[in-house]
Amino acid sequence: MTERLNKLVEYFETVTEATVPQLRNFYASDAYFKDPFNEVHTVEEIEHVFAHMFGPLAEPRFFVHARIEQGGEAFLTWDFRFRIKKYKPDVEQAIRGGSHLRFDAQNKVCYHRDYWDAAEELYEKLPLIGGLMRFMKRRMA
């Protein structure tokens, strides 16, 4: 793997609320980011997305399991582990997903698209809506 990807993975796996501003070291100023809840077009907005997770979540952290890199693109598979402060703060939750990354000529991320199933990985774990999601899933099967 290239040094740029290794350093980026290390950043993701160790990011804290205090180190969120260091995202600028890895992302282009006009970087694009999309996940199931956000679609933003600047590094400042991406920082806001990452900073926001420290509000409702306790101990949010990423564990990267696999990396594939070819040319100016990479794909990561990861687990995002966290606790929800207001809902079962003693129970660790996990979201499994992947990230498609593209790098610009300066080796900064210019495109970041996260793929994960919000229904299965998040909604089914919440009170009230979780029961509805599990019921709908059984009915569709």
What structural domains does the chain harbor?
3-140 (3.10.450.50)
Short-list 87, 106, 127, CA closest to 29: 106
What does the pLDDT look like over 63-112, one tens digit per residue? 999 999 999 999 999 999 999 888 778 889 888 999 999 999 999 999 99
Query: Is 0.95 surpassed by the pTM of this model?
Result: no
Count CB neighbours of 84 within 10 A. 16
Give the pLDDT band of residue 138 (cuts 50, 70, 90): low
